[in-house]
Amino acid sequence: MGSLSVSFVFLGVFTLILHESKGDNTLKEFPIDKQHHIQNSEVKKLLQEQVSAELNASLVYLTMAAHFGNEKKNRPGFNQFFAKCAQEEFEHAQMFISYMNKRGVPLVKENFKMENPSKFTWKHGLEALEEALKMEGEVTVLIKRIHEKADGDGHLTNFLESEFLEEQVDSMRRLSGYVHNLRSMAVTTPPAYDMLSEYLFDLQLQGKKLEL
């Protein structure tokens, strides 16, 4: 076939394409396989709400860190500990958002609810640790609920088990130990409170040893 014949063939094909697309300049949506998407609407809602729960926990920890870092409280150990907890909870929220994007779950306004912390001051370190332990328990319950509702979605349950449930158990065990230790060290019967014991415990949180 000569070059002239080839040119006529291409011209004919191009003319046919123009004829077929005439009057419709919109791009056709390419069908996407959504097998990787989470289909369970309840699970999607719970995941969306979990982002809020993690961010709310982060905000509470940040408030605790600020409280114990001020010049009146002056507890650098508690300040550092709660600041680290705040960062961890924020990272958890990021991990959930990243996973939701992978599984086709958008972050929607209706299920995104940020709350102001219920308090901004604590009488002493023990009170803050007890509140932190309670909050971690509540977050763990929410994650377990997602795990329960996601039964049959091995990818999601594995994500929750490997990235969150193990860490939640470790966090609760650590906080429970801190609460027990400080209760054992300090006189906590109102109105008495052993501030020296709290000071010594704060040194522990800083990783310092008391030299006598």
Instruction: Tell me: is residue 91 an annotated ligand-binding position.
Output: no
**127-149 exposure pattern, b = at least 16 Cβ within 10 A, e = fewer:** ebbbbbbebbeebbebbeebbeb
Instruction: Tell me: is residue 54 an annotated ligand-binding position.
Output: yes
Instruction: Tell me: is residue 136 an annotated ligand-binding position.
Output: yes
Q: Which two tokens stand for residue 5?
A: 């014949």
Instruction: Tell me: is residue 50 an annotated ligand-binding position.
Output: no
Instruction: Tell me: is residue 168 an annotated ligand-binding position.
Output: yes
Query: If you write DSSP's letter for every residue of 150-201 in order, what string do you get?
Result: TTT-HHHHHHHIIIIIHHHHHHHHHHHHHHHHHHHHS--STT---HHHHHHH
Provide the annotated binding site: 54, 89, 92, 136, 168
Provide the annotated binding site for Fe cation: 54, 89, 92, 136, 168
